[in-house]
Structure 1
Amino acid sequence: MGKAQPFVHLKPANLVLKSFNKQNASSSAPLTAPLNAKGTSSPMLRVNLNKFPSFIGHCTSRVNRRVNEDTYSINMLKLPASGQEMQCLRNKNIKDKKSYWDNELPLKKSVLNLSVFDGHGSDRISKLLAKELHHEIAGTLPSREAFFDLLRKYKDVVGGKYWSKLYTKREAYFHRFIANCNTKQEQVLFENDKSGSRMIFDTWGNIIDKNSLLTENERLRLFTAYLNFDFKHCCDASNVPEAEKVDNRPVGGSTASSVFITPYHEDDSYDETFLANPESLLKLIVTQVGDTKIVLCDKNGIAHSLTKIHHPTSSRESRRLGTSFQTDSFGDTRFLDNFANTRSFGDSIGKQDGLSCEPDIYSYLIGSTRSLPHSEISKLQFGGDECFVCLITDGVSDLMSDQELVDLITSTVNLRGFKTASPQFVSEEVVRFVAAIGGQQADNATCLVLRLPNWGNWPCIDRTGAIREEKLLSASSGSERSNV
């Protein structure tokens, strides 16, 4: 079966330099290390992804709350090659495909996965997600029949009109959200482009199709893993300790936002070193459940939100749930008079009414444009050569805009220099800033920063410096008044 590991194997720098010196400097062949019988380069360094500050930064704080219910996870997923997986699924001579998939297929493909979870009501669900969700994804064999059986379990065990209707229309649901994925961001970006003029070509004239970055199987794996995790740990009360239940219902819930990064050409993903030295384009897959956010910084230092939050103010969520939402005495719009989000893991009391963990899936083409002709670069969604990706909880996004977040990071690097201001340093700086401007009721804050190939090559422009300074001054003066 697939697996998730919290570490990555990298080739030592002295061996990389030695190999590079042996290669022809004019050669366009990628720099790779020979693979041994186990499929890994030898000798290799084993680097813990949580202790990789020059590439991945992570910081979380309870700020002014009693308990920190935010969690996160950083892992490398190891999966079978897509072609071998498809052969397994199509081969009618294999009676037990799950057993064959678990024990016979070599794990060649590497996918870097970062996730952030914002718990509410309890930290049980967010901690479970950080501990188990990546294993659930890696261990899921995508199967249409298994997915439909899972929807049937929701209908029978969870109950309610929402799941009954979804199961009844399961074929149409599969066609829309998995086979064709009409909710995906690229469909919004390019739905009016029917001429094919947006196709990208590499230097050899090969087509790079940015509109089909995920296969049906890959989307099905994500949907199945998310719903199966939620059913086992959040809906089935028999799997939950009595101390974590009220009126025989599991307590607590959590939002979840994740990124999955792998080289555009699958062969390049067989070597885990793509993380440290990506030579070509990357596939950036984003999943969204709730209101945690993912923000990308392009080569010009401009912030781009990669997700759309699931909030009661969303007209799309109102159509999905077939209901209107209520506004409480504080002016906040709520679902079922209680929930600030319309999708989450857990929250079993709202599961019958559609408070599900069905993920929105977005896919983007990013990374180095070295192999692209100049005329093709403008066709990329963000122009290529992006600088970094941030994953943040609402404790951060409620207090600062996406551009303020990006400018805080870029200006910190410009001021402190590359050696000091690593992704780890700037993620801590973001949380320190939020703690400084947050009031007495400030929420938990979590920030993950993933370095991309163009890290540090943004313009020396701070577009929101005055706004951030004003927030700091206001927070400082408010603190002084409260102490008088």
Structure 2
Amino acid sequence: MFAKHIQKCQRRFISQHLTIHSTNSKSPINFHVDLLKVPSNFGYYSGRVNRPYNEDRWQASVLDLQPEALRAVDPFQGSSKQENDTFSEEKILDAFHGYDFDNLKLLKQTSRTSEPTYEKSSPPINRTVFSFGVFDGHGGTECSTYLKDHLFENIENINISEKAIEDMKKFYRSKINGYWKRWGRKIGDVVYRKTRAQTAVEKEKGPKQIRVDEQDNEEEEDNFIDWEEFRSGKKLWTVIEMMLNDNKLTHWEIFKLRLWLGYLFTDLQFLTWENEANKEKKTSTKTNESDAVQYRLVNSGSTCTSCFTYAVDWEENDTNHYFYQDNVVSRLVVAHVGDTRAIICDKYGLAHSLTKDHHPSNPIEASRLRRFSAGMIMTDSFGEERFLNFANTRSFGDLTAKDIGITSEPEISEYLIGNSRMIEKFKENSKNKQSLKDNDVQDFGGEESFVVLVSDGVTNNLSDQEIVDLIKTNFNNRGVNRGNPSKGAEEVVGFVECIGGDDNATCLVIRLGGWGKWPIEDRTGKLREERMMDTRYNR
């Protein structure tokens, strides 16, 4: 009876397992592997360093979705109640009185604050999207923990529709207002730029109108949509459907739309949970002063850098085609908010940053904010620019600054990684060539060694090349069996601790096909040695 009850209440959230198929046709054996228990492929390490507690969080999972699909696989099975809800589902829905959300099932999960349940069987191979993320919390651990528990689940399960976009627009304009009121008036412009669908749109755009009918009959007004109606969002979905029907929107654009909506939806969830949780704390405080319980109200935020990868080309007889294999071409998408960072090590052992910190000194951020919040960018006593008292101009949470332009909209960049010969062949294909150009997909020549995701507790103390060299040197010194990504991540955080880092430090190392094939060269070895000596003498 007890076992049946557990089975009934279990619900699939996300998976951390993948299925590895045997390449031997005579003995077709499948292995089910937990992603977190394969240190040779993925490594992670996090430390509080010199802080009293650690606000960093991280996550890794295997998503069950088609990158080109608008609608997600419905994962909701069994009961919709969670025993550890901090407040009832009814209160959450009451907070959205008047809203009929297209993603109502996900909205009902707002109050869940526990670690997601992980499915033990991986998705089918053609749906395998690997995701990794690091979350650097501030003002408490509530926001970074919430992202760990919900972000990838939302990206996997969110349904993309006209109503879903309108729901988002309505929430941010009415509940947050300020910056978001202007944002809502140009939602069409925002969406087509974020997904890099502007090339497809602009091909159909005349001086003031977008053609929505292939027939060249200018007497029929229905053949055109006014450009301003599209920019304001009134005819946004009409244009999106037109591009879908004409195969002008593919997985290159649709997956980015999924990421963009998933990030904003998760922020919506957290802000709602934070508001309702604080209401609960205020009303539950006893009035008798001698018996009063002091509650710390939730007022936290978090930065986030995530990377997602899935195969786009592989050899015909490849039964796995995972991103870390030799003969596979994969798409790597980086979604970035704040000052956590993604770094890739190429086949020569050189570090390349895949993100730019969202600080007020960032020209893109300064331009975005000055249009709405002129005069709020200032310099502190250390000479660093701040947006009011915020170091980051993009983050999750931070409700008190949401209306003046703090946003969780991710800056998205994408790359081709994998076998160099296959990448060149993939790029030569005429259809692929246009998609790669329209979406500004870059590459580093193939045979990349690994990707690193780190919090600013690492990057404040180490350069990108130092981080990469620490991981490479650890492998070179320990050998193939012991010098794995897990030990490399530990080495990076350990070095930060040794040289006197003063912030939480988290490092994720994701193995790629060129792992261990880099030249035996430590470009920053002498520099790191000097830093270690300086630290020792200054103590």
Task: Give the TM-score category using the shorter length.
Answer: 0.7 to 0.9
Q: How far apart, CA to CA, are the structure 2 residues paired with 1:55 and 1:327? A: 43
Q: Is residue 139 from structure 1 mapped to residue 157 from structure 2 by the alignment?
A: yes
2:307 maps to 259
Over residues 33-92 of structure 1, what are the superposed CA-to-partner deviations in whole Å (9 max), with x where a residue is unaligned? 9xxxxxxxx742222111110000000000110010000001000113636959x9xxxx
Aligned partner of 1:313 in structure 2 is 361
Counterpart for residue 433 of structure 1: 495
Match of 1:27 in 2: none
Alignment of structure 1 residues 35-434 onto 2, 5 Å: 43-80=29-66, 82=68, 108-160=126-178, 162-180=179-197, 214-235=251-272, 237-242=274-279, 250-265=298-313, 274-275=322-323, 277-322=325-370, 323-324=374-375, 325-336=377-388, 338-371=389-422, 381-434=443-496
Distance 1:142 1:266, change over 3 A: farther
**Residue in 2 aligned with 1:468?**
528
Q: 1:302: how far off?
A: 0.5
Specify whether residues 275 and 170 from structure 1 end up closer, same or farther in structure 2 by C-alpha distance, changes over 3 A only: closer
Distance 1:83 1:328, change over 3 A: closer
Question: Is the Cα–Cα contact under 8 Å of residues 17 and 61 in structure 2 kept in the other structure?
Answer: yes
Distance in 2 between residues matched to 1:64 and 1:256, nearest whole Å: 22
Q: Distance in 2 between matches of 1:430 and 1:372?
A: 31
Give the letter for the 2:390 counterpart.
F
Kindly state the Cα deviation for residue 278 of structure 1 after the two structures are TM-superposed: 4.9
Check conservation: 1:136, 1:225, Cα contact below 8 A.
yes
In the TM superposition, what whole-angstrom CA distance separates every residue of 1:174-217 from its partner, at most 9, and x where no partner exists?
222225379xxxxxxxxxxxxxxxxxxxxxxxxxxxxx985332
Deviation track 1:148-178 (CA, whole Å, cap 9, x = no partner) reads 3212211101121x10101111122222222
8 Å Cα contact 1:2-1:138 kept in structure 2: no
Q: Letter of the aligned partner of 2:182 in structure 1?
A: K
Q: Is 1:235–1:348's contact at 8 Å kept on the other side of the alignment? A: no
Cα distance, 1:395–1:463 mapped onto 2, change above 3 Å: same
Structure 1 distance, partners of 2:472, 2:299, is: 40
- CA-to-aligned-CA distance 1:421-468 (integer Å, 9 cap, x gap): 1111111011110100125xx100000000101101111111111111
Change (3 A) 1:252 1:455: same
Q: 1:240 to 1:290 in 2, by over 3 A?
A: same
Q: Report how far residue 412 of structure 1 moved.
A: 1.7
8 Å contact 2:306–2:335 — kept in the other structure?
A: yes
Structure 1 unmatched runs, 5+: 23-32, 34-41, 89-95, 100-105, 183-211, 480-484
Worse-matched range after superposition: 247-256 or 410-419: 247-256
Which residue number in structure 2 is paired with residue 452 of structure 1? 512
> Taking structure 1 as reference, are residues 64 and 272 closer, same or farther at Cα in structure 2, changes over 3 Å only?
farther
Greater C-alpha radius of gyration: 2
Asked if the contact 1:277/1:453 (under 8 Å) is kept, the reply is yes
Distance 1:133 1:375 in 2: 31
In the alignment, the residues of structure 2 paired with residue 248 and residue 436 of structure 1 have an alpha-carbon distance, to the nearest angstrom, of: 33
User: When the two structures are aligned, how many residues end up with a matched partner?
Assistant: 410
Q: Secondary structure at the match of 2:155?
A: helix
Distance 1:98 1:354 in 2: 25
Give, as a single letter, the amino acid of the residue that structure 1 aligns with 2:48: R
Q: Normalising by structure 1, what TM-score?
A: 0.77
Residue of structure 1 in register with 2:18 after alignment:
8
- Determine the C-alpha separation between the residues in 2 that align with 1:6 and 1:405: 26
Question: In the alignment, residue 468 of structure 1 is paired with which amino acid?
Answer: R
RMSD: 3.4
Q: Displacement of 1:348 after TM fit?
A: 0.5
Amino acid at match of 2:475: V
Indicate conservation of the 8 Å contact 2:347/2:518, yes or no: yes
Q: Which amino acid aligns with 2:16?
A: P
Instruction: Using the aligned pairs only, state the percent identity.
Output: 37
Q: 1:239 to 1:264 in 2, by over 3 A?
A: farther
1:5–1:372 distance in 2 versus 1, CA, 3 Å: closer
The structural deviation recorded for 1:239 is 3.6
* Residues 375 and 139 (structure 1), Cα distance of their counterparts in 2 relative to 1, 3 Å cut: closer
**Partner-residue secondary structure (3-state), 2:343:** strand
Q: Distance in 2 between matches of 1:344 and 1:372?
A: 34
The Cα shift of 1:223 comes to 1.2
1:115-140 per-position Cα deviation (integer Å, ceiling 9, x unaligned)? 00000010000011111111010011
Per-residue deviation, 1:387: 0.4
Q: CA deviation at 1:225?
A: 1.0
Indicate conservation of the 8 Å contact 2:49/2:503, yes or no: yes
CA distance in 1, matches of 2:424, 2:259: 34
Tell me the distance in 2 between the aligned counterparts of 1:301 and 1:276. 17
Rounded to whole Å, the distance in 1 between the matches of 2:280 and 2:523 is 49
User: In structure 2, do the counterparts of structure 1 residues 230 and 448 end up closer, same or farther at CA, with 3 Å as the change threshold?
Assistant: same
Q: Distance in 1 between matches of 2:181 and 2:103?
A: 28
What amino acid sits opposite 1:365 in the alignment? L
Structure 2 CA distance for aligned equivalents of residues 119 and 181 of structure 1: 34
Give the 3 Å change call, closer, same or farther, for CA 148–366 of structure 1 in structure 2: same
Structure 2 length-normalised TM: 0.69
Following TM superposition, the consecutive aligned residue runs of length 4 or more in structure 1 with deviations greater than 4 angstroms are: 83-86, 96-99, 235-238, 241-250, 270-273, 372-377
Distance 1:332 1:213, change over 3 A: farther
Aligned-pair CA distance for 1:253: 0.3
CA distance in 1, matches of 2:381, 2:103: 52
Q: State the Cα deviation string for residues 212-237 of structure 1 (Å, max 9, x = none).
A: 98533212111111111111212565
Which structure 2 segments of 5+ residues have no match?
1-10, 75-100, 105-122, 200-248, 283-293, 429-440
